[in-house]
Amino acid sequence: MKIDELPLDPNIINFLKSQGYTELYPPQEDAIKAGVLDGKNILVSAPTASGKTLIAILAIIQHIKKHKTKIVYLSPLKALAAEKFSEFKKLETAKLDRKIKVTISTGDFDSDDTLKNSDILILTNEKMDSLMRFSPSWIDDIGLVISDEIHLVGDEGRGPTLEMILTRFKLGLAGNKSQIIALSATITNYDELAEWLECKPVESKWRPVPLSEAVYDDFTVKNQERESYKINFDSVGLPSIGLGIDSVKNGGQSLLFAMTRPSSVKLAMDSGKYIEKKLGSKELAELGKISKKILSNNEQTELIKKLASVVKQGVAFHHAGLNQNCREIIETEFRNGKIKLLSATPTLAAGVNLPARRVVISSILRYNSKFGGNSPISVLEYKQLCGRAGRPQYDKEGESIIIAKQIPQDDLLEHYVDGEPEPIESKITEPSSLRIHLLSLVVTSPTITEDRIYKFFSQTLGGMQVEDETIELNLENAKSFLQDEKFIVNKEGGYIATKFGQMVSRLYIDPMTARDFRNAIEYDVSKGRKHTFGFLHLITNCNEFFPKFELRNKDEERADVVIENNKQTKIKHIEMQDCTRSLLAMDLWINEGTEIDLSDQLNIESGDIHRMVETANWLVYSLRELSRLLGRADLISELDALRQRIRYGIKEELIDLVKIKGIGRVRARRLYKNNIKTRQDLATTSVNQLAAIDKIGMAVANSIKSQLRVR
């Protein structure tokens, strides 16, 4: 079907053409036939790059034409949300029946007015869930919900949150008779998910670029048709590197999946010298500029130096230890074709869209914390990895190759290439999930009865998949915990949340964590002294803290020293075995340890500490609010100071200085060394004196002075 044939206004047709759309892909045409333009609920299960985004755009345009209600696009990850925001922002320029505003919200402190006054909201699942707990009036004005990557409803960590959101919309507990559009990768039980959401299923295995799935063993590649060909690596060591170089040599790009951070770095380092030889002088000059950009924009840890070094050779690595700035540079330059070979951990496959002609899976083993060792990846995860093969408009065919190690080639072909992805299974009936989400249900549905609680959870995906007796038992256990710990009370046959329960739900923390925080505040935190290290220990030990790194043998002596140095600010006795490397990292960070210090001393990288800071800030804020509720106003100023120290990575003496915009940890320390210790000192120091200080300069000095005048 041509775009011209769609029953849309000519202005919209012209807009779609201006965005490069001329003809519908088969899954898009199937979605039209299923009623996506007629307000029908649909679930689309189709491979990566098969056109699911256009299905969402068409639904949005039609909804805006017919209705005045809001549209919400749900994404599992901030990076994906940002990607979709840039795409949907273009709709503001389309000639629609009314002027629209597109907004993204993935953080904790967005203005409710901004969301209220927007037409299209791009939200992470967690942000949507958090908003539902506050019940702003505009939530009832949502008429279209688009849920991307819905197969992640089976994810152990984030799946239950998405399941709660969609169940609320389905039952009309949120939204205005909302149309639901669910977009998914290829999954086995798509019909079951469609039944749960009362959607019409649209299933397709069509891809814009055909995919060859194969297994390599002993210089032979065998594909799904059991066709084989020999491959020569020109004396390159590892097969994964040889296969990657072979694709680049033939004009393609390669994406190498490694199962650990160190192996992803090593693959890139070992590939660089081979890729560099295949590049021209102009390409190498461009890569040199990108390398310098990486070095100039970041602290030069060993990891950053390695990244900058391999980028000069047309190669890069990508994992969660890199900060967002580095990851975005790598993603952009890989898309632009300047980086030819990228080695990455599997988290990339669940994130931004970075296709390559050839995907090489260097190992099918991955560390599993449940088993305390390596275990094979699932077929579903394998299909996610190989789905990155094939760049639309560039490649006639994409190719995915598993490297056989110890497992026979034919066995891997049979299990992974021929295999069907495992069915998506709900995790909402797990005890920890029920504890969290039962509380949120009671908070948003005051006086809800036991019967209504059971009916709600029976309408979840878990309610379809799990035995009734199991749901009833787990609900009873969760309810007993929440009552015993005073989160909820039974009042006249219905349940209501206590003030403590309401606050915990809106702070978005696990009731188990909240209980531990409350016990510490009420029984362990004494008056009249500071508890900085004790608070850090409390938050880094809770379930929500992420990322959490365990102590290595060589960290034990350091842990003993840190505990001894902080004995005056502990909450209670701490042994070395009670510590994590994350606790040591946070202590080093707020005492102005640099990213180089963290990397060299604790093997914790820039991306890790940035996520720790974000998590710690939220958890300390939660401690602050619970302290206020529990009558411990004496703790608020200390917790406020700790949040500032965590946010900026500073000692307490610099807090007053960083309140000025443009002054961070480095400039604040420079000022302090020049005997400028407070905002009052800044006010009495001349512009020229400020500008003469290293890292300040005239522009920053003028900015500081203008802010002080406003105050």
| Residue 605 phi, psi dihedral angles, 5° rounding | -95, 175
End-to-end CA distance of the chain: 62
Tokens of 111: 């203005």
259/263 Cα distance (integer angstroms): 7
Tokens of 198: 């009362």
71/53 Cα distance (integer angstroms): 15
Number of H helices, E strands in the chain: 31, 19
In the numeric block, the tokens 């302090």 are attached to: 672
CB 58 within 8 A of CB 96: no
409/411 Cα distance (integer angstroms): 5
Binding residues for ATP: 28
267/342 Cα distance (integer angstroms): 9
Q: 3-state SS of 160-197?
A: HHHHHHHHHHHHCCCCCCCEEEEEECCCCCHHHHHHHH
- Helices 606-629 and 532-540 sit at what angle, rounded to 10 degrees? 110
Q: DSSP character for 37? A: G
> What is the Cα Rg of the chain in Å?
27
| Residue 317 phi, psi dihedral angles, 5° rounding | -125, 160
Q: DSSP character for 415? A: I
Which helix (H) or strand (E) is 473 found in, with range?
helix 468-484
Residues listed for the chain: 711
The tally of CA atoms less than 13 A away on the side-chain side of residue 536 is 30
